[in-house]
């Protein structure tokens, strides 16, 4: 974060900065963004930061990322992603929202929705239902069917790098993630990928690698106007977003299993399969589920060490360990999702 952005954040945190100054401002912070909730709108600011896959240090890079976020996320949530706003420096030196002065930063303006309608909260509270999974499967299949085909991505080198990245990142947290288990995950992943070589390449040639969502966790799905809606897809990295469609949907399936909702995951997968534009055999699904669980495991392990709240640190550690074991179990065929799937009547297609 730079000094100018500190000023921008302070400005956006004040109700007086907006047209409806009598309403409070709520703030949500992530590693790459700060979201300001005011009235019926959400204003998303890209942090001036750089990570391995993300670089928002320059004003131009943040503008480009905002434009890409608006364009890409309108594929799934056109009524949620509204427009771009600028933060400007006026002649009197003060900042203004969408003013006429020099642009100092950019915002994605979104329609605000009730946070209780986020699928991760609904999962914890037992509010997700089978009809929601049916609808979500249809929506994901529609989205994937229209997504841009990207055959230069999603091949064996990319998946090998995912395995090694997961191994490197998980190995950074030996106080949380058992090193023997982490090594076992990497070894089993390499072996399984080798056995799937022909399948992976066939899928790429058959146009299964597309510009997907890239971060299809429960936290990035909401119930909007009564419909499951995907939002907050990856805009900053083609490598992360241009993937096999089954790898994309594997994230939400992994997340449902992590919440103990395997039957809902199977219901979702059943709906997805029955509404795909192609015949989906799910052959690499166990591999993809394991990759997703491993990635989420090291992410939570890192978050646990950074969190100031002791109770939340402990909870994130517990979840990181659970996901580590889930990643290994997937590789050994110990995932009940496919067992549930086989018992569900797959006749949703109309």
- Label each residue of 200-259 as H, E or C: HHHHHHCCCEEECCCCCCHHHEEEECCEEEECCCCCCCHHHHEEEHHHHHHHHHHHHHHC
For the chain, list residues with pLDDT below 50.
345-350
What is the C-alpha separation between 17 and 158, in angstroms, rounded? 45
What is the C-alpha separation between 143 and 72, in angstroms, rounded? 11
What is the C-alpha separation between 136 and 268, in angstroms, rounded? 7
Q: At what angle do helices 285-306 and 156-170 cross, to 10 degrees?
A: 30
What is the C-alpha separation between 194 and 189, in angstroms, rounded? 9
Closest CA to 87 of 18, 38, 2, 3: 18
264 neighbors 133 (Cβ within 8 angstroms): yes
**pLDDT tens digits, residue range 67-79?**
999 999 999 999 9
**In whole angstroms, how far apart are CA 170 and each of 13, 15, 296, 298, 318?**
36, 42, 10, 5, 14
Spell out the residues 6+ positions from residue 6 whose beta carbon is closer than 8 angstroms to its own. none
What is the C-alpha separation between 255 and 232, in angstroms, rounded? 16
* Triad 66, 67, 69: Cα angle to 5°: 65
Q: Residue 100, by phi and psi: left (phi above 0), alpha (psi -120 to 50) or beta?
A: alpha
- Predicted confidence at residue 346, as pLDDT, reads 45
294 neighbors 324 (Cβ within 8 angstroms): yes
- Predicted confidence at residue 34, as pLDDT, reads 98
- Predicted confidence at residue 91, as pLDDT, reads 94
DSSP-assigned states of every residue in 30-77: -SSEEEEEETTEEEEEE-S-B-SS-B--SHHHHHHHHHHHHHHHTTT-
110 neighbors 81 (Cβ within 8 angstroms): yes
46 neighbors 62 (Cβ within 8 angstroms): yes
| Contacts by residues 198-202 (CB-CB < 8 Å, ≥ 24 positions apart) | 199/283, 199/284, 200/155, 200/156, 200/159, 200/244, 200/284, 201/155, 201/156
- Predicted confidence at residue 342, as pLDDT, reads 62
What residues are paired with 269 via a beta bridge? none
Closest CA to 120 of 36, 27, 228: 228
- Predicted confidence at residue 31, as pLDDT, reads 85
290 φ, ψ to 5°? Answer: -65, -45
- Predicted confidence at residue 181, as pLDDT, reads 99
């Amino acid at each position: 974060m730079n000094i100018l952005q500190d000023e921008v954040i302070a400005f956006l945190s004040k109700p007086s900065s907006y047209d409806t100054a009598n309403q409070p401002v709520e703030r949500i912070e992530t590693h790459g963004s700060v979201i300001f909730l005011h009235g019926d709108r959400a204003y998303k600011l890209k942090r001036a930061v750089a990570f391995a896959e993300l670089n928002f240090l320059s004003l131009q890079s943040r503008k480009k990322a905002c434009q890409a976020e608006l364009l890409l996320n309108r594929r799934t949530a056109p009524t949620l992603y509204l427009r771009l706003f600028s933060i400007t420096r006026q002649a009197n030196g003060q900042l203004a929202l969408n003013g006429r002065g020099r642009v100092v930063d950019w915002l994605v303006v979104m329609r605000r929705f009730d946070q209780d309608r986020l699928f991760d909260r609904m999962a914890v509270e037992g509010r997700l239902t089978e009809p929601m999974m049916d609808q979500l499967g249809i929506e994901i299949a529609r989205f994937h069917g229209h997504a841009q085909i990207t055959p230069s991505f999603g091949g064996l080198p990319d998946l090998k790098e995912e395995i090694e990245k997961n191994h490197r990142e998980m190995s950074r947290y030996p106080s949380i993630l058992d090193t023997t288990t982490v090594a076992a995950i990497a070894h089993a992943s390499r072996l399984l990928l080798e056995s799937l070589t022909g399948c992976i390449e066939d899928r790429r040639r058959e146009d299964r690698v597309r510009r997907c969502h890239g971060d299809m966790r429960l936290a990035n799905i909401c119930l909007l106007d009564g419909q499951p809606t995907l939002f907050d897809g990856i805009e900053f990295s083609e490598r992360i977003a241009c993937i096999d469609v089954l790898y994309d949907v594997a994230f939400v399936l992994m997340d449902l299993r992590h919440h103990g909702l395997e039957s809902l995951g199977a219901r979702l997968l059943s709906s997805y399969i029955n509404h795909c534009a192609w015949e989906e055999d799910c052959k690499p699904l166990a591999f993809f589920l394991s990759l997703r669980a491993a990635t989420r495991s090291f992410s939570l392990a890192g978050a646990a060490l950074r969190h100031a709240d002791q109770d939340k640190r402990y909870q994130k550690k517990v979840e990181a360990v659970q996901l580590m074991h889930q990643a290994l179990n997937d590789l050994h065929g110990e995932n009940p999702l496919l067992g549930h799937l086989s018992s569900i009547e797959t006749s949703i297609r109309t």
